[in-house]
Amino acid sequence: MRTPLVCASMLMIAAGAASAATDSCGWESPDSLVLATYPDDTAITSSLDSEQVHAGATALKLERNNESPTPSVYVATVDNLNPGDVVTAGFWCYDMTPGAAPSGRIWGHWNDDIAGDIMGYNGSAGGNNDYSAGDGWSYLEWSWEVPADHKGLVIEARLYSNPGDIIWIDDIQVDAPDGSDLNLACSVETAVQEMSWSALKASHAQK
């Protein structure tokens, strides 16, 4: 009689250890746009915008301001990673110029002191060599495996374009290992979502 109970307990522990720190959000609050802008805040103007939206009421609008090389916004960080861990991230990007600027790309770099300095840089982590398709919304995704000498990953939305060009980003999802510290740029909950939950609760209460 005791053996099945022990097995069940062990399975529960195993399932807990294997679960991932997955999170997603979709840029619905002006208080929660980007974690940082590279190389500095003058490179890209980030704003909440309703002109192009993948889901919800708004998306992140990115406008390139100057000729700074490979400008990007930091859309997520994952800290306290271990060697061999895999992080998968993706977001939707709106671009209506196939094969030409502006285009978006998902990219990553290592920063082993994210808490101390969000702009810290410990080498490129690479990313998807494909750009946004240029026929509306396309999903850009990449997976990174953590090498032995790094613990922090910064996920970037890169903007390949000329000054004045604009792209939109929406609905990011990141799958990170359990125990890691995942932070999404758009993770602040909005009043709209809170109202939706209230409405949902009210509709259930009436039944």
Q: How far is the CB of 96 from Ca ion (least distance, A)?
A: 18
Q: How far is the CB of 135 from Ca ion (least distance, A)?
A: 19
Window 49-68: contact mask with Ca ion (x via CB under 5 A) = -------x--x---------
Q: Which is nearer to Ca ion, 114 or 169 (CB)?
A: 169
Contact pick of 72, 74, 170, 184 for Ca ion (by CB under 5 A):
170
Q: Does 102 bind Ca ion (CB under 5 A)?
A: no
Total residues at interface with Ca ion (CB under 5 A): 5
**CB atoms < 10 A from the CB of 206, how many?**
6
Q: How far is the CB of 98 from Ca ion (least distance, A)?
A: 23
Q: How far is the CB of 55 from Ca ion (least distance, A)?
A: 5
Q: How far is the CB of 26 from Ca ion (least distance, A)?
A: 3
Stretch that binds Ca ion, among 18-26, 75-83, 100-108, 194-202 (CB under 5 A): 18-26
Q: Is residue 107 within 8 Å of 89, Cβ to Cβ?
A: no
- Cα separation, 133 vs 142, in Å, equals 15
Q: Does 26 bind Ca ion (CB under 5 A)?
A: yes
Q: Which is nearer to Ca ion, 59 or 89 (CB)?
A: 59
Q: Which is nearer to Ca ion, 156 or 170 (CB)?
A: 170
Q: Which is nearer to Ca ion, 59 or 154 (CB)?
A: 59
Q: How far is the CB of 29 from Ca ion (least distance, A)?
A: 10
- Residue 108 sits at φ, ψ, to 5 deg, of -145, 155
Binding-site ranges for Ca ion (CB under 5 A): 26-27, 56, 59, 170
